Structure 1
Amino acid sequence: MSSLDKMLSLLDVFTPAAPVWATDDLIRYSGVPASTCYRYIKALHSAGLLARVANGSYVLGPRVLEMDRTTRLCDPVYIAGTPVIRRLTAETGYSSLLCMLFSDSIMCVQEALAENAPSVLFSRGQRRPLVAGASAKIILAHLPVHQLRTIFSRHRKSIASVGLGADWEGFRQILREIKQAGHVMTYGEYNHGILSIAAPLFNRSGDVLGSLALAAAESEIGAAEFQKLAGRVVEASREVSQRISNSANVVDLPARAIG
């Protein structure tokens, strides 16, 4: 890991469960000499990525808010997808999500929550495992083979545990079937009792960017009845993909599994 990677990794420790970190704790987490960590903290603070609070502790800085605003104004999936998922939620009565592949995980870009949405549903900025759930599986089904090989080698046990295949050939076959179907439905793979249907989002070059999903609690609707909404999800995902293609400011960056 480079020194830059080590410095940026300090940002990973700031979470809703642990939003404030003392300098000494950051030094212990970093695993580098104290003098080096002080330089990292100073650089992150100067860039506005960290802000100093009482007793020599730090929180995420205002630059993060600025970057979030830029993303909301510029991200093609967020811009094209937000009005579509809001309409889908209004019409179906169930929550809708936009997700993208980020490193070895899936990240929520935007959510449109139904009135009685389960509290465990994805929300903007949250990450989930790469292989669990409909939002992840539909993206995996459209990734190039070389990326899938890397993912399979890293997550073989998790892949088998969610029924995506016990070996490479089984993994590829199941993903081919998902891709051919154009959508996938899962139940309780990440949160117990949650049904989800997802369809892919593409850029103008036909590369997968992310996914659009509809989610509901099984207590609200049975699996067979929920499956009937798959066509609505596919239709919405196609509309978002078309909006992305028609945007004048879109950079055609496909989903990447990195890290």
Structure 2
Amino acid sequence: MTPPPSRAASDGDATPERGRKPRAGEAVLDRAFKLLRCFDSDHRVQPLASLAQRTGMPRSSALRLVRQLTEAGALERLEDGNYVVGLRLLELASLAPRGHGLRSVAMPYMEDLFHVTRQHVLLAVRDGDDALLVERLSAHDATEVRFRVGGRMPLTATGVGLVLLAYAPTDVQEELLRDFAPHEDVGLVRLRSADELRRALAEVRRGGYAVAQHPGAEGLATAAAPVHDEHGVVAALSVVVPSNQFTPHAYVTAVRTGARAISRQLGGQRQGELNQRPAPTK
């Protein structure tokens, strides 16, 4: 007797592969996040086949997870069968204190800084070895930049990144110093060696701010300063402007004033003053 044909995937893809199992020890939650991490600024809309290929999962496994994530609201299925990130994730992300919670406190002061500079104002937090942008205000006629809310930037390639790294735990700093590699095409900061990075971090701790001006990077410059709460540095605030408009003293003063105002709202003024004492170089 001929066995009945297997049910085709409702997403319009070929019959799911059989006989393949997920890698041993890989939890369902890990695989679900692996699927979600497939979405980024260059891959906002994806078909099931792409998700399966990018994760290395059998299509049948990817389909099961995609269906579960769609039912939970983490993904949404479009009329053409492609998938996008669901609004449920936005709803949950709005509860993150280091994201939207920080943003709600910082926004009035970011708006003040924006009205003064009429360019780009960035607010970022450290997430592992990256600076994660949680808010950006930009004028319509501001010089184009590649930074986006929710985007990641190397800690060694931007003003906010240097600030966050300068106040990061020692083991984080030493790991990046040990594995340092120049970022030629990312950000505004052009550091060529681990020694240059170590000196730059010491300068940030001594002065309480970071500046970078690199005409080769689309003619942009930046000034950044730390934001504190009662536990220490939790974020970095910066402005990004054309190099030909950049006067370091004026922009450093403006961004430090904004960062201190946010810190006061977060209850970190006293800790902020302590953390801005000069630190010895190595």
SS in 2 for 1:125: coil
Q: Deviations over 1:91-115 (max 9, x none)?
A: 3333321111123321221122235
Q: Which residue of 2 aligns with 1:13?
A: 38
3-state DSSP of counterpart to 1:198:
strand
Instruction: Tell me which residue corresponds to 2:279.
Output: none
* 1:54-73 Cα deviation digits (max 9, x unpaired): 34321111212323444599
- CA drift of 1:236 comes to 1.1
Partner SS state of residue 229, structure 1: helix
Residue 56 (structure 2) aligns with: 31
Higher helix share: 1
**1:230 maps to which residue?**
252
The equivalent of 2:5 in structure 1 is none
**Equivalent residue number for residue 216 of structure 1:** 241
1:157 aligns with 2:181: yes
Aligned: 1:166 with 2:190: no
Question: Mean Cα displacement is larger for which, 143-152 or 67-76?
Answer: 67-76
Instruction: Select 2:222's aligned residue among 196, 213, 221.
Output: 196
- Distance across 2 between alignment mates of 1:75 and 1:96: 16
Q: Return the offset for 1:27.
A: 1.1
Query: Retained in 2: the 8 A contact 1:183–1:197?
Result: yes
* Aligned twin of 2:8: none
- C-alpha change, 1:227 and 1:193, in structure 2 (3 Å) is farther
The runs of at least 4 aligned residues of structure 1 exceeding 6 Å deviation read: none
Q: Say if 2:118 and 2:142, in contact at 8 Å, map to a contact too.
A: no
Question: Are 2:68 and 1:46 aligned?
Answer: no
The change in CA–CA distance for 1:146 and 1:74 in structure 2 (over 3 A counts) is: closer
**Greater Rg over alpha carbons, structure:** 2
- Structure 1 segment 1-259 matched on structure 2, within 5 A: 2-3=26-27, 4-71=29-96, 75-120=100-145, 122-154=147-179, 156-158=180-182, 162=189, 164=191, 166-167=193-194, 171-188=197-214, 191-205=217-231, 207-219=232-244, 221=245, 223=246, 225-245=247-267
| Paired residue type of 1:243 | Q
Q: Which runs of 5+ in 1 are unaligned?
A: 247-259
Partner amino acid, structure 1, of 2:230: R
Q: Which amino acid letter does the alignment assign opposite residue 92 of structure 1?
A: T
Tell me how large the CA RMSD over aligned residues is.
Answer: 2.8
Deviations 1:114-170 (A, max 9, x none): 35212215342222222101110111111121111223344x113799555634x65
The verdict on how the C-alpha distance between 1:183 and 1:24 changes in structure 2, with shifts beyond 3 A counting, is same
Aligned length: 240
Give the Cα separation in 2 of the matches to 1:97 and 1:60. Answer: 24
Distance in structure 1 (CA, Å) of the matches to 2:184 and 2:138 = 31
Q: CA deviation at 1:44?
A: 1.6
Percent identity between matched residues is: 24
Report the AA paired with residue 174 of structure 1: A
TM-score of the pair, normalised by structure 1 = 0.80
Cα-to-partner distance string for 1:181-239 (whole Å, 9 max, x where unaligned) = 1111112499421111000111212x2111000111124x1x4x244321121111111
SS at 1:157's partner residue?
coil
CA distance in 1 between partners of 2:200 and 2:208 (Å): 13
Distance 2:220 2:99 in 1: 31
Structure 2 residue runs of 5 or longer lacking an equivalent are: 1-24, 269-282
Secondary structure at the counterpart of residue 124 of structure 1: coil
Partner of 1:251: none
Contact 1:164/1:175 (<8 A) preserved: no
Larger relative contact order (CA 8 Å, sep ≥ 6): 1
AA matched with 2:193: A
